[in-house]
Amino acid sequence: MAHDPSRFWERAIILVDMDAFFASIEQLDNPELRGKPVGVTNGMQGTCIITCSYEARRQGVKTGMRLRHALEICPALIQCPSRPERYAQVSITIMEALQDITPDIEIFSVDEAFLDVTRVQKLHGSPEKIVRMTKDRVWQASGLPSSLGLSGDKTTAKYAAKKSKPDGLMIIPPWEAKQRLHDVPVTELCGINTGIGSFLAARGVYTCGDMARLPIGVLGQRFGNPGRRIWYMCQGEDPEKIHVDVPPPKSIGHGKVIPPDTRARRILLIYLLHMSEKVGARLRRHNMVAMTFSVGLMATDGWLGMKMQTPIPINDGLIIYDLCREVLADCWDGEGIHQVHVGALDPQPADGQLELFTEVDLPDRSIENQVKDMINLRFGEFALAPARLLERSTMPNVIAPSWKPFGHRETILHP
């Protein structure tokens, strides 16, 4: 069926998925690696392949594979230690470039984003034109290959992007989606795992086309709303929107017992930064913001500290940390501290709130924070904190998962 570029799309969703993202960045930064099989591991000690270049994939190397096994099947494989800060930086650059296309973006992972371009058809032209423009934009911003899928819903767009890999682009107009998915095994769609797959197989549903014969109530009864969504997904009509909300916690706090009688200001600040980053990350994970924070320091005679307000609701750890610095300056006279605590007292849904950042004199780090959260999820908590700390202050590169404040004290305090 030919595309009719003049036809208006009632919904137009693009999925951008970078190809072998971390490995491609290594090849970009190190020209001698281009065209060669590259496997990224967690440091040089890492024993698992985090991701690998297409040259390695062609020889059977896969994500999650043991390095030793990968080297057996692909002896030429070049091991590259991961560089989370660099990946985050590139990811942020790409995500920011995508904002030029549309503000309706869901950063789906560190190297994937959904764009709802329905509203910008008047501005940029047909979705077919927009998706090509998007691919070019990603290339200009990063110099990296990506694969894009365009359709009328998230699931079909994601499927199209997967099918176009690597360095591809696939368009499935919404009016063709049902027919294009007809013979596709249901488990090829994102979100349909083998568990659901066997539930469906037991009911005679193997391909998306089979789904039309199964009453939607069967899925609804077993899996609730997500089940009903699956039924629509298979018909090329995934109703899911570009935004995802996570149920909110009532308050968010992080505390830490620290070595007794800690009196070094720098050490206290490092703990407070650690707690602030944790509170910020938790707020963001729940898509929340807050404007009332408590900062506490436990001395021998009890808690020192106070509640602090920000002018607008926020979820950025570094802004929370600024409050901690103020509290430390105002409430602490050098007493020995045993415990620190940072809490967000009034978490509320972030919807729309972050847009306020542009009108207030506070930095908007929402994209950086989202990307950072995803990188840390992949490489371990605070894999990224050190780079940000260095960028921002004179603080040493200390808060890493392996860091023990007093074990390394000499090198921290007397570098």
Q: Which of 364, 341, 382, 381 has the alpha carbon at shortest distance from 289?
A: 364
Buried b (16+ CB within 10 A) or exposed e, 112-130: bbbbbbbebeeeeebbbeb
Determine which residue in the list 17, 238, 277, 316 makes contact with Mg ion, applying CB under 5 A.
Answer: 17
Q: Give the interface segment with Mg ion, choosing from 104-112, 155-163, 186-194, 252-260 (CB under 5 A).
A: 104-112
Nearer to Mg ion, 325 or 378 (CB): 378
Q: What's the CA gap between 304 and 297, in Å, rounded?
A: 5
- Strands 146-151 and 78-81, how do they pair? unpaired
The 8-class DSSP code of residue 247 comes to P
Question: According to the binding rule CB under 5 A, does residue 153 interact with Mg ion?
Answer: no
Q: Give the interface segment with Mg ion, choosing from 16-24, 237-245, 255-263, 334-342 (CB under 5 A).
A: 16-24
Nearer to Mg ion, 17 or 26 (CB): 17
Q: Give the interface segment with Mg ion, choosing from 45-53, 110-118, 216-224, 343-351 (CB under 5 A).
A: 110-118
HSE (side-chain half, CA atoms, 13 Å) at 307? 7
Least Cβ distance, residue 20 to Mg ion (angstroms): 7
Least Cβ distance, residue 23 to Mg ion (angstroms): 10
Could you tell me the CA-to-CA distances from 285 to 280, 323, 366 in Å, in that order?
9, 21, 12
Nearer to Mg ion, 188 or 335 (CB): 188
Could you tell me the CA-to-CA distances from 131 to 109, 115, 158, 233 in Å, in that order?
19, 10, 13, 21
> Which residue stretches of 30-153 are H helix?
54-57, 67-73, 84-98, 121-124, 127-142
Least Cβ distance, residue 19 to Mg ion (angstroms): 6
Nearer to Mg ion, 16 or 318 (CB): 16
Q: Give the interface segment with Mg ion, choosing from 109-117, 149-157, 159-167, 338-346 (CB under 5 A).
A: 109-117
The 8-class DSSP code of residue 260 comes to E
Least Cβ distance, residue 46 to Mg ion (angstroms): 19
Least Cβ distance, residue 110 to Mg ion (angstroms): 9
Q: For the range 62-71, what are the long-range contacts, defined as Cβ-Cβ under 8 Å and sequence gap of 24 or more? A: 67/39, 67/41, 70/39
Determine which residue in the list 55, 111, 238, 316 makes contact with Mg ion, applying CB under 5 A.
Answer: 111
Please give the size of the binding site for Mg ion, defined by CB under 5 A.
3
Q: What's the CA gap between 127 and 396, in Å, rounded?
A: 48
Q: Considering 112, 128, 237, 277, which one is annotated as catalytic?
A: 112
Nearer to Mg ion, 18 or 169 (CB): 18
Calculate Rg over the CA atoms of the chain: 24
Query: Is 112 a known active-site residue?
Result: yes
Residues from 32 through 91 that contact Mg ion (CB under 5 A): none
Least Cβ distance, residue 71 to Mg ion (angstroms): 23
Active-site residue set: 112
Contacts with Mg ion by CB under 5 A lie at 17-18, 111
